[in-house]
Amino acid sequence: MCGFLGGSSSFTCHNAFFFLIYLQAAEIDPPESTPGPPFPVFTRQEVARHHSEGDRVWVTYGSDVFDVTDFLELHPGGKSKILLAAGGALEPFWALYAMHKQEHVLELLQGYKVGELSPEEPPLPTPGDPYGGDPPRHPGLKVNTLKPFNAEPPSELLAENFLTPNPLFFKRNHLPVPTVDPATYRLYVQGIRGRALSLSLQDLKSKFPKHKVTATVQCAGNRRAEMNALRNTNRLGWNIGAISTACWSGVRLRDVLVHAGYKQGDDGHVSFEGLDKDQNGTVYGASIPFEKAMDPKGDVLLAYEMNGEELPRDHGFPLRVVVPGIVGARNVKWLARISVGPEESQSHWQQKDYKGFSPAVTWDNVDFSKAPAIQEMPVQSAITEPSPNALVPPGELTVKGYAWSGGGRGVIRVDVSLDGGKSWHEAKLTGEAQSPGRAWAWKLWQLKACVPPGTKELNIVCKAVDTSYNEQPDSVGPIWNILGVLNNAWHRVHVSVGED
């Protein structure tokens, strides 16, 4: 686990202790606290101005302000990770890595104290703002839009954990986040022959067996920024972080449908409606094939827990659909209603969005009725470290990333090139063992390679291969489309080689 202000992939509390000893032995002691008069008082806005190395890097912890500029190069987890908190609070990042709360780490931090925070009232929501009731979010997220809120984790943290910490799991909202009282919540399920179910949260927990599924969720627009760079789609410019993995717990959708009178072998579609709606009352909706919903090996859940915790509000509290191997758009959050019928959901997001088209299709000639709604996703991979345009030292280089394929197809190989695809190395895969045809979660991968002497730059490329031997296309151009979806071209990162 990679620490923040004191950690790396192999850095533990034990290492932190010896790192502190190293600082003392090397006479690189942090500056002592200022004696005499009280520390100056700063507002959070004043702290926020110190967010880059050129302006000095300040952070806060509790009510104290620290200048950690001189610690950036000493941080065992790399300065890129500590810069994620620059100008803001350490708490959201330290909460991800409990090792930071060790006494010796806190003592080390105190040596960099330069001031204290002035008392502040939290900002009040704008009256009448439909997004005023949205929940707080982790400050490390890279925001694409605030209203509705859409954000992804920084690439440096994306592959640090097989299960993405809940605060860092990417956020994809189409409408304001609803406020739901779990005590009065009801899920309505259309049954056969006019029968209907009204299930409380407690009904779901007590009447049906609990199941767990570890599954990756990916937005269809993941890596759209690369398509926008080629030709702008005027849609959310996701980088590589519109993908995350969690262990979901809840009841099988199949069990609920059987309880409502349905049986395997029926045909049609299962439609979902959420409690999120716009000011005109239009709710978010989507559907999946009935066959997928009823498949005993399909593992479709009505989830009420995420990574062992109650579902966060941004991720569908109190109940959401999790459809493993299927595009994130069908994993409806804040689930209100389930119905079964011969046709797909008539929702805008099923009929007029999340479909793939030829590069020849334009907004002048597009016919949404001729393209099927995206369900299973293609094989995908991306490089999370090093970052684009980074300066890497000569010698051994570690490249990290993730790989995933839809439809339960496992990833069997990730190939990595340091020279733009002229030569290749096979990366080491890590992650949980998964059953054939039910490989719902990503693989994390890592490659340790030697940078040849005299190398000035690297063009790092990765591509994944799944169990059906599907491979990623080598470039974005042939798969560009007006919606900017399904980008699974080779991921490329250019870096420079040299001493910092």
pLDDT tens-place string over residues 96-112: 555 565 676 788 888 89
Instruction: Name residue, tokens 């952070």.
Output: 59
User: CA torsion sign, 177 to 188 to 266 to 212?
Assistant: positive
458 token code pair: 């690297």
CA-CA distance, 488 to 474, in Å (whole number)?
9
Superfamily of domain 187-370: Oxidoreductase, molybdopterin-binding domain (3.90.420.10)
The segment(s) of the chain belonging to CATH 3.90.420.10 are 187-370
Say whether 219 is catalytic. yes
Q: Give the type of residue at 15.
A: N
Say whether 354 is catalytic. yes
Q: Could you say which of 97, 138, 219, 252 is catalytic?
A: 219
Q: For domain 380-497, give the CATH number.
A: 2.60.40.650
The segment(s) of the chain belonging to CATH 2.60.40.650 are 380-497
Say whether 172 is catalytic. yes
What angle is formed at CA 20 by the lines to CA 18 and CA 23, rounded to 5 degrees?
A: 115
Q: Could you say which of 75, 269, 438, 491 is catalytic?
A: 75
Tell me the C-alpha to C-alpha distance, in Å, between residue 74 and each of 48, 113, 140. Answer: 22, 17, 21
Q: Could you say which of 138, 172, 330, 409 is catalytic?
A: 172
Instruction: Name residue, tokens 């798969």.
Output: 479
State what percent of residues in the chain have pLDDT above 90: 71
Contact (Cβ atoms closer than 8 angstroms) between residue 30 and residue 111: yes
The residue-averaged pLDDT of 281-285 equals 95
Q: Could you say which of 61, 284, 354, 402 is catalytic?
A: 354
Q: Could you tell me which residues come within 8 angstroms of residue 486 by beta carbon, excluding any fewer than 6 positions away?
A: 220, 356, 374, 377, 378, 479
- Domain 13-117 matching CATH 3.60.150.10: the answer reads no
Q: Dump pLDDT digits (tens) for 472-494.
A: 999 999 999 999 999 999 999 99
CA-CA distance, 400 to 447, in Å (whole number)?
7
Q: Dump pLDDT digits (tens) for 377-399.
A: 999 999 999 999 999 999 999 99
Say whether 185 is catalytic. no
Q: How confident is the model at residue 14 (pLDDT cuts 50, 70, 90)?
A: very low
The segment(s) of the chain belonging to CATH 3.10.120.10 are 13-117
Secondary-structure percent of the chain, ordered helix, strand, coil, rounded to 5 = 20, 30, 50
CA-CA distance, 381 to 365, in Å (whole number)?
32
CB atoms within 10 A of CB 92: 19
Model pTM score:
0.81
Q: Could you say which of 50, 100, 252, 491 is catalytic?
A: 100
Say whether 13 is catalytic. no
